[in-house]
Amino acid sequence: MSVKSNSEQGAISPMRTPLYFLKMMFVRLGVLPFLLFIAVIVFTMTSDNFLTGRNLLNVVRQSSYLTLVAVGQMFALLTGGFDLSVGTIIALTSVVGATAMAAASAAMPDSIGLAITIGVLAGLAAGAIIGSINGIGVAMLGVSPFMMTLGMSSVGFGVALYMTGGTPVYGMPVQFADIFGFGHLFGMPAPVFVGIILILTLYIVLNWTRLGRYFYAVGGNIKAAGLSGINTRLTLFLAYLFCGLVASISGILLTARLDTGEANIGTSMPLESIAACVIAGVSLRGGIGRLENVVLGALFIGLVQNGMNLARIESYLQIVVIGALLIIAVIADQARLRVMANMQD
């Protein structure tokens, strides 16, 4: 029986092959780094303005709305569900917030700050109500997340159209758009600043609190989580409540950017937010995902959209690309689970 030398063993060891390192990167980070590398190469070749500092800052600003929605969507995905009503929450938040703000501004023309506060709180309340109803249906009544959030999406959209008759809502104070839509806070665009504060807060909740561990536990194995003493119903409810609240904050910022209340905004957010999460390695089965990766996933979606705009690709084809990315990410998620299972064996 011959014994191989150390040099011969090292030559065939998978630890020393590039394929091994690629596999480890895929297991740890998911498909996002590979897609990001391909996107940067392709769009850099198609446009000289793609990698400029001004364009990248524009990508960050435009992606801030999707980033917030994707971070909220992550809470639902962590528990093994998802929220298809986030687009409706944005629309209803926009309509309710703009209507309340315009009415308060007309009634109190000298109290602009109070009128803005009333409008913002009204919009956030609308998002919290939709999120709470979703949470009650999923956690308390046992309705599947797909049917519950799809139904609420239709209900909320109908309410928004009924309130506006399909026309934009005007009459908000000019200061609202000047500050939260086009203004800067501490040297950063207002949506980016608000997004950073909220993301840091939710990062602390997910990684440094008991509630954050509960979200992962419920998504990993809801029966085991219940046997461990975790209130699984409350955890599920809070996941959809957080998702609704974060989406409503994005709706407020989008309303400020548009300077009108719109019932038809946010229609692409369900697809894009789920795509951003899955591309970032959040498992559709629940219990797996990191918030910082979701932020990068949302920025990747914004980067792709920006690159396609610079390449003069039609908006209809852009929807096709986003859908294809979601399919690729789901396939990669399944492959990643198989690779992890093989490595454990």
Domain ranges for the chain: 32-344
Sign of CA dihedral 234, 277, 203, 153: negative
**pLDDT for the residue numbered 27:** 66
Comparing 56 with 344, the larger pLDDT belongs to: 56
pLDDT class of 7 with cuts at 50, 70, 90: very low
The 10s digit of each residue's pLDDT in 105-162 is 999 988 999 999 999 999 999 999 999 999 999 999 999 999 999 999 999 999 999 9
Q: Report residue 273 CA to chain centroid gap.
A: 4
- pTM exceeds 0.85, yes or no: yes
CA distance 281 to 277: 7
Burial class (CB in 10 A: 0-12, 13-18, 19+), 170: exposed
Please check the confidence at residue 331 and state whether its pLDDT lies above 80. Answer: yes
Residues in Cβ contact with 147 at an 8 Å cutoff, skipping those fewer than 6 apart: none
Alpha helices in the chain (DSSP H): 6-12, 18-29, 32-46, 53-78, 86-107, 112-135, 145-164, 174-176, 190-208, 210-220, 222-227, 232-258, 269-279, 291-310, 315-344
Give the mean pLDDT of 180-205: 91
Q: What is the b/e burial string over 56-77, where b = at least 16 CB atoms within 10 angstroms of the residue's CB?
A: eeebbbbbbbbbbbbbbbbbbb
pLDDT digits (tens, 9 = 90+) for 47-58: 888 888 888 888
DSSP characters for 22-79?
Answer: HHHHHHHHTTHHHHHHHHHHHHHHH-TTTTSHHHHHHHHHHHHHHHHHHHHHHHHHHT
Q: Strand, coil or helix: what is 121?
A: helix
Q: What does the pLDDT read at residue 343?
A: 67
What average pLDDT does range 197-221 have in this prediction?
94
Three-class DSSP category at 312: coil
CATH of domain 32-344: 1.10.3470
**pLDDT confidence band for 11 (50 / 70 / 90):** very low
Contacts of 291 (CB under 8 A, 6+ apart): 71, 74, 199, 202, 203, 206, 207
Do 276 and 322 contact (CB within 8 A), yes or no? no
Q: At 8, is the pLDDT very low, low, confident or very high (cuts 50, 70, 90)?
A: very low
pLDDT > 60? residue 263: yes
Tell me phi and psi for residue 185, to 5 degrees. -125, 120
Give the torsion through C-alpha atoms of 106, 109, 114, 115, to 10 deg.
30
pLDDT at 207 over 80: yes
Could you identify the residue written with the tokens 């687009």? 87
User: What residues contact residue 88 under an 8 Å CB cut-off, 6+ apart?
Assistant: 130, 152, 153, 154, 155, 156, 157, 160, 266
Residues whose CB falls within 8 Å of the CB of residue 151, separated by 6 or more in sequence, listed in order: none
* Predicted pLDDT at 279: 86
- pLDDT tens digit string along 61-84? 999 999 999 999 999 999 999 999
Residue 344 — pLDDT band, cuts 50, 70, 90? low
